[in-house]
Structure 1
Amino acid sequence: MDIDIKETIASAISGKAPGLSSLEDVTMAAATLTMAQTCALCILRFLQIPAGPVYLTRSLDAISEALGVELQHPNSNGLSPCPVCLGTLDMALVDKVVGSFKEQEYDASSAAVTVELPKSVYVRHHSMQVHLKSAHPSLNAATPTDLKDVIKYMVCQTLVSEHSIASDADSDMRIEISFAHEESASEHQFLFDRENSSVKTKTFRKRGVHYTTGDSKAAVLSELGACSDKDFISCFACPPPAIAQPATIGSLVLKRAPIFIGGRYLKLERNISQTPFFVGERRVTELSVADVVGEPIKALVRCDSYNLVGSGREDADVRMLGDGRPFYLECTNPRTTIIKPGQIRAIEDQLRSTKSPVQVRRLQMIRPEDTSIIREGEEHKTKHYCALVWFSSPLSQDKLAEINAIGKQGVLLQQKTPIRVLHRRAPLTRERRLLALELEPIEGKFYKLRLESEAGTYIKEFVHGDLGRTVPSLADMAGVTADIIELDVENVSLDFPPALVDGDC
């Protein structure tokens, strides 16, 4: 990397660093920092060199020559890790982060990097500032370059140079780096143990592990600001003491905003649930719509997981016919978001060619804001049903005509929460409207029932009455016992997602 180190340092201190206005002052401060085993990159930070290419150099000769002191790189072999940054500026850690990103093969063009440091870093950073002020009162060194900014710069620039990944704080791709250093984990606690501390922390034990609450980064910085140099020196070593082991990456999270794929599903057979259906640990249905549709989409976009959200749901023993039920899949942390035309449609074709009992139509990528149509549509959509109904005795022509006449006018129902779902639904009375109802005889005691209803109507309970919990019921209208043998949903009147045109995916 072709960098004029001397020019970079001279440019940084020229008129910008009160008390570090000459190379002689810089050399003096650098020597003090070096004596305290501070790494080369932290020395640059304390000299207020802004985050830039100089921090990516892997050779110290030019920096040493520019500063006039012998320098060490973070975690140099045979030397203690830097007592200020705790080794977090080690290029090997940057390589580890970038390597993890490469392994995941995200198709992102940009990324936002966030960094969380051990709380002890802020204490040690303050300690070194106090030490510099004490060793060179005339320098009056200003605020050093932020450690987080340097780490983020090093990671972002490596991503740019090696993978053409731009840095963008608003990117949907996030790289969250959290450093850990067990050796110094409790060093900040003295700030809260002081008699005049304004922060009260609480320590508790859970499952054999000790936790502390109240000692946030903001609280640590607030207490450092309120602590005089005299009080600080009486409680913590200046310069900061050496450490045996460097910090590690305690947590590295690579995550991306979810993508959404919408469509309409059909269930051509019964005993298929919308999502996996368990009672305790026992799976009740062998198949679910979510499994059949979600797994091939998961393989396509390489996401961590998916969640199917339908515009309502039918029972497992109810078929979903017609044009299908609107739904969308939320795909969490997808590696692939650039989908070629036809790739999603190939999933439809695969299900069709294998004669899967679950079929999909209009499968396509949708915008996050489009998902609101599913939620908002719950209030306005209607559904059409066809049911095979049994009565305890055949209905007379007059009774059949009477029921159909009522059905043409619409029926207002009062439905208490069905007994079969009381274990998971609130015990409420809901008002629902049947918009149309028609009963046709088939043979003997069996009839075909067609109806249109508002969303949220319990059709099975309307037929048999649910022990009087749905009023009126079809059984009430007929004056005999009634039950539902089979039920199909034939239409969900919600236009979602948009109909596809050639070339869409």
Structure 2
Amino acid sequence: MSEKKRESDTLEGVHKKLKQDANRDALKLRLQIALGDASTELRRHSTCLDVLFSIPCCGRCMLRFLGYRDYEVYELSSTEIKEILDARRAHIAGATVASADGFVDSPEIVCIACVGTIQYAESFVDEVVDRINNEAYVIKTFNMNVTLPTSTLVRNHSISIYWKNKLGSNPQDLVDIKEIFKLLISWQVERRTGLTLDFSSELRMQVAVCHEETKEDHVFLTKLKESGLVIKTKRENRKNIQVGDGRHHVVKALTLVSNERFASAASVPPKEVTTKPAMEFIEMTRESVYVGGRYLKYTRDVSQTPWSIGTTMLAELSVSGIVCDTLKEAYRADDYKFVTAGREDANVRMLGNGRPFYMEMVNPRIPFLPYERLKELEAKINTIMPDKVQVRSIASLEPDDIKVVKDGEDTKTKSYSALCWTSNPVTQKMVDAVNAYNNKSFIIEQQTPIRVLQRRAQMIRKKEIISLKAIPLEGHFLVVHLHTEAGTYIKEFVHGDLGRTQPSLASIVGCEADIMELDVLEVDLEFPPPSRLK
């Protein structure tokens, strides 16, 4: 490193340090002025600071119990805040020097109110920033939710009872501990990452802090019948988990127990703690984004999605397996949901202009890909197994765009080509009987097919056959073109499903019929919207 560069970095560091010191001095002055303005109120409760200093409570929690809501001041350290509060306490008492508690000269112990969560909030910033940097979301804002130890609920309640016993009234306008913790972390994250805290941000962080030493603080409430708190252990996902001890359960239990009863079963004020809290987990999730298009399937050995019974795969390949991984990787998503406008069996080809589909990208790091990049990905997908599956019209979508795929279940129509066998040789009379329905719609009634009874409700569905046309082949074969309402069971329409579909192709030609091969030629649904294809 050059001498000039070292000098520049040194000057920059000094400037930054001076700016930070100036900010801290300004915050100290703000707190001193605010406490001076509040002198009348403090005199009215002249012992409130004595109460707070009588227990091992950090400076930040002291401000909380005083109802102080100039949040930026909480960036001062606990020791700095306590120095100012102690000086104010001495002034109220008419002393000329700060009271002699000795807290400045002694190492500060862990706060009994927040168990160190806001007292040492800055100690968690590195882990949060590292996680943000490692995830590398393409975004300018973030939102943060926090989960703090349940013990803080019980301990703050205990201190409130202690306060009332000493002063005769409850603390007024107590500041929520989670508000302070969230802001102390968020402000540091903003400075170190350049992201902005925005409560409507698509990026949501969940920061959970635990404190092993006090994790059982609330359990005594289960022994107080009036609390209604019941904690049970149950087996879930091969793990034993406790239920009934969530924060909302504990809050409700505390409201149902009288102060006297609480004090008879728990320590007032709370017992001292000797250990600091730890990070339990950091979860980061971003709102889903959507991308979609149409797929074509040229072979009869590919299922739409992975198809298995138990551990046995019934089709080695799937459309979703061929198409989706490439797009998932491009968006750097955790997972995806593959949704299609209907489905075809593995042995049915999807031809024509393809079947509409969309993917919901779960927790994507990249929220948007330009049209040119999507065309590159489309071309890449089409080189994976071009003789089996291809895609077209890949486009970014908005949530409103995907509604057409689900709504289309009731409104779209489909065209098919079916190679059929008949038990009698095909005659012109049979062909004419079928072609009598060419461009002439009729209604069929289909009981739930036998082959899907295990997963579909038993009912009779009325479906419209919009058009039916037969092209004879040699012997016992003919090709049938069908245009039908969505949801029609084509195979059952051909063979009749033991009389469960009426009328059927078999009843029209007057002999047994079965389907040998089936192709979907058209799914009549405009998707993606034309406005997205540019």
**322-331 or 414-423, which moves further after superposition?**
414-423
CA distance in 1, matches of 2:190, 2:74: 15
CA distance in 2, matches of 1:346, 1:129: 63
Counterparts in 2 of 1:203 and 1:349: CA distance versus 1, 3 Å: closer
**Offset of residue 384 of structure 1:** 0.5
**Offset of residue 482 of structure 1:** 1.6
CA distance in 1, matches of 2:440, 2:366: 52
Indicate whether 1:343 and 2:393 are aligned.
no
Give secondary structure in 2 for the equivalent of 1:211: strand
**Offset of residue 285 of structure 1:** 1.3
CA distance in 2, matches of 1:466, 1:17: 89
Higher helix residue share:
2
Q: Which amino acid aligns with 2:425?
A: P
Q: Which amino acid aligns with 1:39?
A: C
CA distance in 2, matches of 1:193, 1:12: 44
Indicate whether 1:363 and 2:390 are aligned.
no
What CA deviation, in whole Å up to 9, does each residue of 1:145-199 have, x standing for no partner?
A: 221001110122122211222222222211112333343233223345335x253
**450-459 or 34-43, which moves further after superposition?**
34-43
**Offset of residue 42 of structure 1:** 2.2
CA distance in 2, matches of 1:246, 1:203: 28
Identify the residue that residue 439 of structure 2 maps to in structure 1.
408
What CA deviation, in whole Å up to 9, does each residue of 1:232-281 have, x standing for no partner?
A: 33322222112233333333221111111121111122211111111111
Choose the corresponding residue for 2:425, options 370, 394, 397: 394
Identify the residue that residue 193 of structure 1 maps to in structure 2.
223
Q: Is the 8 A contact 2:289 2:360 kept in 1?
A: yes
Choose the corresponding residue for 2:65, options 22, 46, 55: 46
CA distance in 2, matches of 1:338, 1:498: 17
Q: Is the 8 A contact 1:259 1:332 kept in 2?
A: yes
Indicate whether 1:471 and 2:502 are aligned.
yes
Map 1:239-250 onto structure 2 (within 5 A): 239-250=269-280
Counterparts in 2 of 1:359 and 1:72: CA distance versus 1, 3 Å: farther
**446-455 or 204-213, which moves further after superposition?**
204-213
Indicate whether 1:435 and 2:454 are aligned.
no
CA distance in 1, matches of 2:82, 2:263: 31
Give secondary structure in 2 for the equivalent of 1:320: strand
Give secondary structure in 2 for the equivalent of 1:9: helix
**Offset of residue 412 of structure 1:** 1.7
What CA deviation, in whole Å up to 9, does each residue of 1:454-492 have, x standing for no partner?
A: 001111111122222222211221122222111111100
Choose the corresponding residue for 2:35, options 13, 31, 53: 13
Choose the corresponding residue for 1:264, options 294, 313, 317: 294
Q: Which runs of 5+ in 2 are unaligned?
A: 1-19, 88-100
Choose the corresponding residue for 2:267, options 214, 217, 237: 237
**Offset of residue 35 of structure 1:** 5.1
**Offset of residue 47 of structure 1:** 3.6
CA distance in 2, matches of 1:140, 1:471: 77
CA distance in 1, matches of 2:475, 2:359: 44
CA distance in 2, matches of 1:210, 1:377: 42
Choose the corresponding residue for 2:191, options 137, 161, 169: 161
Identify the residue that residue 214 of structure 2 maps to in structure 1.
184
Identify the residue that residue 282 of structure 1 maps to in structure 2.
312
Indicate whether 1:37 and 2:56 are aligned.
yes
Q: Is the 8 A contact 2:426 2:478 kept in 1?
A: no
Q: Which runs of 5+ in 1 are unaligned?
A: none
Identify the residue that residue 93 of structure 2 maps to in structure 1.
none
Q: Which amino acid aligns with 2:357?
A: F
Q: Is the 8 A contact 2:137 2:366 kept in 1?
A: yes
**Offset of residue 5 of structure 1:** 3.6
**Offset of residue 11 of structure 1:** 4.2
Give secondary structure in 1 for the equivalent of 2:467: strand
Map 1:362-381 onto structure 2 (within 5 A): 362-381=393-412
Q: Is the 8 A contact 1:439 1:450 kept in 2?
A: yes
**Offset of residue 87 of structure 1:** 1.9
Q: Which amino acid aligns with 2:114?
A: C
**Offset of residue 229 of structure 1:** 3.9
Q: Which amino acid aligns with 2:32?
A: A
Give secondary structure in 2 for the equivalent of 1:489: strand
CA distance in 2, matches of 1:11, 1:311: 66
**Offset of residue 133 of structure 1:** 4.4
Give secondary structure in 2 for the equivalent of 1:409: coil
Give secondary structure in 1 for the equivalent of 2:371: coil
Indicate whether 1:452 and 2:483 are aligned.
yes
Aligned-pair identity in percent equals 34
CA distance in 1, matches of 2:530, 2:234: 56
**167-176 or 454-463, which moves further after superposition?**
167-176
CA distance in 2, matches of 1:421, 1:473: 18
What CA deviation, in whole Å up to 9, does each residue of 1:77-134 have, x standing for no partner?
A: x765322111222212233223222211111222221122222211111222333444
Q: Which amino acid aligns with 2:377?
A: I
CA distance in 1, matches of 2:63, 2:36: 15
CA distance in 1, matches of 2:250, 2:478: 75
Q: Is the 8 A contact 1:408 1:437 kept in 2?
A: yes
Identify the residue that residue 172 of structure 2 maps to in structure 1.
142
Choose the corresponding residue for 1:352, options 382, 391, 396: 382
Give secondary structure in 1 for the equivalent of 2:330: helix
Q: Is the 8 A contact 2:322 2:389 kept in 1?
A: yes
Q: Is the 8 A contact 1:40 1:72 kept in 2?
A: no
Give secondary structure in 1 for the equivalent of 2:376: helix
Counterparts in 2 of 1:82 and 1:60: CA distance versus 1, 3 Å: closer
Q: Which amino acid aligns with 2:135?
A: Q
Q: Which amino acid aligns with 1:485?
A: M
CA distance in 2, matches of 1:93, 1:32: 29
Q: Is the 8 A contact 1:107 1:338 kept in 2?
A: no
Give secondary structure in 2 for the equivalent of 1:303: coil
**306-315 or 364-373, which moves further after superposition?**
364-373
Give secondary structure in 2 for the equivalent of 1:36: coil
Q: Which amino acid aligns with 2:359?
A: L
Q: Which amino acid aligns with 1:20?
A: L
Choose the corresponding residue for 2:232, options 165, 190, 203: 203
Counterparts in 2 of 1:485 and 1:149: CA distance versus 1, 3 Å: same
Counterparts in 2 of 1:70 and 1:412: CA distance versus 1, 3 Å: farther
Q: Where does structure 1 differ by over 6 angstroms across 4 or more consecutive aligned residues? A: none
Choose the corresponding residue for 2:83, options 42, 49, 64: 64
Counterparts in 2 of 1:232 and 1:16: CA distance versus 1, 3 Å: farther
Q: Is the 8 A contact 1:51 1:149 kept in 2?
A: no
Q: Which amino acid aligns with 1:116?
A: T
Indicate whether 1:84 and 2:113 are aligned.
yes
